[in-house]
Amino acid sequence: MRKALRAYEVRLHSNLPGILSIQPLVIAIGKEAPVLRPITPPPSTRAQGTAEIPEDESIEVALAAAGDSRAFERLYRRHVGRVHSLLRRMVGSDEADEATQDAFVRAWRAIGSFRGDSAFGTWVHRIAVNVALASRRGKITNRQRFLDDEDFLNHHPDRPDRSSERLDFEAALSTLPHGAREVLVLHDVEGFRHEEIAELLDISSGTSKSQLHRARMAIRKVLNA
């Protein structure tokens, strides 16, 4: 029988003496030699284009948790691009500014409970996803959220800009129903797994997979039109 023990690797940053980086690891103990492997990284660190977390982020977080709004503003400026881009893709350009503000206000109110076992960027990203999902609850029905078989075969989205010869990827994305767009953004852009998406959107993993496939096919169709 194998036991898994959670441990922490503590190492000194070579270029910032005195600041400890704590990285969770799993030590598996069994008949074989102990194996150390990193826990699956959180979604935002799996996504492409993720900026490296600055060394002093934990200091900024601690200051913000103590009520320093200027430290929180520095965190905001560091992360607003990714949060706003996520929200623009999930709720649309018209609502992205307000949703971004809501996400950071929620983060400010909750930062005292931020435990630091994930990066601040990952944590605020999760808050932004919840803001996006909350913003569309009650607005639309499931029938409007996802692509069903008939929609998929006959998907003829409105072209946001008929004057352009070729829609770019973002515009093609905006033509998808909310649910299908959310699945694609969370999986292909943000790096969430189907199990995580299923939990967030209150759907099955199978639905997440089928919606992802249909969303990709629909975008391909729009881009090739």
Partner 1 sequence: MTDAFTELLSEYLDEELSPAERARVERHLQACVSCRDSLEGLRQVIGRAKVLPVDVPPNDLWPGIAARIVGPR
122 binding partner 1? (CB under 8 A): no
Residues 17-46 binding partner 1 (CB under 8 A) are none
Task: Determine whether 28 is exposed, middle or buried from the number of CB atoms within 10 Å of its CB (0-12, 13-18, 19+).
Answer: middle
Which listed residue (24, 30, 112, 116) binds partner 1 by CB under 8 A?
A: 112
Q: What DSSP string runs through 25-36? A: EEEEESSS--EE
Residue 117 or residue 170: which is nearer to partner 1 going by CB? 170
Nearest to 100 by CA among 113, 114, 89: 89
The H or E element that residue 22 is part of is strand 20-29
Q: How far is the CB of 210 from partner 1 (least distance, A)?
A: 8
154 binding partner 1? (CB under 8 A): no
Q: What DSSP string runs through 29-98? A: ESSS--EEEEPPPPHHHHSTTPPPPPTTHHHHHHHHHTT-HHHHHHHHHHHHHHHHHHHHHHH-HHHHHH
Q: How far is the CB of 127 from partner 1 (least distance, A)?
A: 13
Q: How far is the CB of 82 from partner 1 (least distance, A)?
A: 5
Stretches 20-28, 37-45, 174-182, 188-196: which one binds partner 1 (CB under 8 A)?
188-196
Give contact residues for partner 1 (rule: CB under 8 A). Answer: 47-49, 51, 67, 69, 72-73, 76-77, 80-82, 84-85, 88-89, 96-97, 100-101, 104-105, 108-109, 112, 153, 169-170, 184, 188-189, 194, 209-210, 212-213, 216-217, 219-220, 223-224
